[in-house]
Structure 1
């Protein structure tokens, strides 16, 4: 277990290192001059003022020196100051991050409420009208960009019906439309994934045997099908949550949501490179943290994931892990137990 955790931490460190390099380089090769942004309030700055600004920003040094100075400051918790507000970037970001996390949580709840019921129902009714209708709705939802769906929701619920607010952050009602704009599309993708995973186990021997022994459909779905399909679904949910977290910038701008995503959009337009670099690095760290947590959950479902050994041991672990998530429910003892409780 210690070896596994150490490996994950090492991978996370390497990913963050790569993100820091890419982010730094993109900030340097992007069009525009940070000096112009810093001196935007000055009319016709002189050459001396521009040189002083370059020295203040450290742009007169080689890129390698700039990168190492930047990373050294980050290790100390200093992400620099915003060119636009001249305030510490980390402070500005942390003030807005809770709003983004709240929006991500709302979108995740919508995604789960849509994905699981529709995915399971579609798998159980394969080839029937319900399955065709759900698949069609999922395809349409996935094809619509989130900002287009957001505009449609604004027109329907905000402008025409006037039952939900469309701007700013306040009570629960302010969270509904932004969460739906992101969560509906993610839920449609999750529903398709769940349908595929459920169909992959619906014809397995233990499911057929459970039906023969008279186990209720609820128990079959819960104990024999969903448990088998759950591990890859959990992994995908973790990746989707990371996507929701990083992809909320447009929705935050559309709904004037005071989150980190809207802060990023303003920084891009204003060429505020310290903000852009900090956003990319912090979001990458949060994304890696989510993936590590998903791996822990996966390890709880399949305890042998924590173990390591030679190929023979790994094969044995694979068989044992199938027991741990209920893949061997076709054994007569388990079936009789389920049927006896009905």
Structure 2
């Protein structure tokens, strides 16, 4: 298994190089640059040219990218053009907020989707099953920003139960976590239902019932355990998506997370902050997916044996 982990970590190197290359050159193609943010309103042409030379904008994008990569290979994510703060510190200041939001959304998703998906599978084709699938489809269809605004209007403005934005304790996590978790709940419910339907028809469950095992024990100990791999996959991809893609929700709720950091940096053309933040997010997502792959080994011994052979066959 150690060889498999080492191979996966080595694969991060070309991924980071590819991501940094794309982001750096896409930012260069975008109209405007950070000089317009740094230069005073009454700046002369000489002052603007001096700023361009100071930040390397008098050289080609290939030269600036090469300089950036030299620092990156030494473990330096760069320094923000606008704040002068190391990008590593900026990212780590915002990461706890994003992780807490991710954890809250996953808890909401699992707490609702697992019971609902199991119920739908057990009562396949019934009125309850159809109602659960309609709810799942409804949750999947609602845009996050729209649901977030509705929750703010209902629970913040009218009822006053939760804050409308910002990060100010556990109560402030509730509405954004529900906003993100609702969409994830729909996906996980459908995945749980389809995975459980495949398992509950197997012969070994009929055998367990014939031996007198209670239905709850059959579902909990046998069926759910063997249906976990697709569910774990969905949970992992949802965590990765939440860390890298909860920008709209963070904007609606003024949540001080990584998504807002990236958006603000893009709007200000702060290339080191954008590139460094996306590189860190890429590493986070890759590590989460690696952990999910390793969890498969604890669920299915066949996968553990495959990892022990270095991932072959």
Whether the aligned pair in 1 keeps the contact of 2:265 and 2:274 (CA below 8 Å) is yes
Q: Distance in 2 between matches of 1:309 and 1:262?
A: 39
| Structure with the greater alpha carbon radius of gyration | 1
After the TM superposition, which residues 88-167 of structure 1 pair with which residues of structure 2 at under 5 Å, given as runs? 88-167=86-165
Q: Distance in 1 between matches of 2:306 and 2:245?
A: 31
Q: Distance in 1 between matches of 2:113 and 2:192?
A: 7
Which moved further from structure 2: 57-66 or 98-107?
Answer: 57-66
**Equivalent residue, structure 2, for 1:318:** none
Q: Distance in 2 between matches of 1:36 and 1:257?
A: 27
TM-score under structure 2 normalisation? Answer: 0.93
Gaps of 5+ in 1: 315-342
Q: Tell me which of 245, 252, 255 is aligned to 2:253.
A: 255
**Equivalent residue, structure 1, for 2:15:** 15
Q: Distance in 2 between matches of 1:221 and 1:187?
A: 20
287 and 219 in structure 1: CA distance in 2 versus 1, 3 angstrom threshold: same
**CA offset digits 1:59-87 (Å, max 9, x no partner):** 22233322221012123343333233232
CA displacement at 1:272 relative to structure 2:
2.2
Which moved further from structure 2: 19-28 or 266-275?
Answer: 266-275
**Equivalent residue, structure 2, for 1:34:** 34
Q: Distance in 2 between matches of 1:62 and 1:309?
A: 43
Whether the aligned pair in 2 keeps the contact of 1:253 and 1:265 (CA below 8 Å) is no
Which moved further from structure 2: 207-216 or 180-189?
Answer: 207-216
Q: Distance in 2 between matches of 1:212 and 1:201?
A: 17
After the TM superposition, which residues 1-342 of structure 1 pair with which residues of structure 2 at under 5 Å, given as runs? 1-39=1-39, 42-301=40-299, 302=301, 303-308=304-309, 314=313
CA displacement at 1:247 relative to structure 2:
1.7
Whether the aligned pair in 2 keeps the contact of 1:96 and 1:260 (CA below 8 Å) is yes
Q: Distance in 2 between matches of 1:155 and 1:206?
A: 51
CA displacement at 1:260 relative to structure 2:
1.9
Query: How many residue pairs get matched?
Result: 310
CA displacement at 1:310 relative to structure 2:
11
Whether the aligned pair in 2 keeps the contact of 1:123 and 1:195 (CA below 8 Å) is yes
310 and 80 in structure 1: CA distance in 2 versus 1, 3 angstrom threshold: closer
CA displacement at 1:131 relative to structure 2:
0.6
Gaps of 5+ in 2: none
CA displacement at 1:291 relative to structure 2:
0.8
Which moved further from structure 2: 43-52 or 13-22?
Answer: 43-52
Q: Distance in 1 between matches of 2:66 and 2:32?
A: 23
Q: Distance in 2 between matches of 1:66 and 1:84?
A: 17
**CA offset digits 1:131-189 (Å, max 9, x no partner):** 11110000010001111111111111111211111121112111110111101111111
Q: Distance in 2 between matches of 1:266 and 1:93?
A: 13
Which moved further from structure 2: 101-110 or 134-143?
Answer: 101-110
Report runs of 4+ in structure 1 exceeding 3 Å deviation: none
CA displacement at 1:88 relative to structure 2:
2.4
Which moved further from structure 2: 283-292 or 261-270?
Answer: 261-270
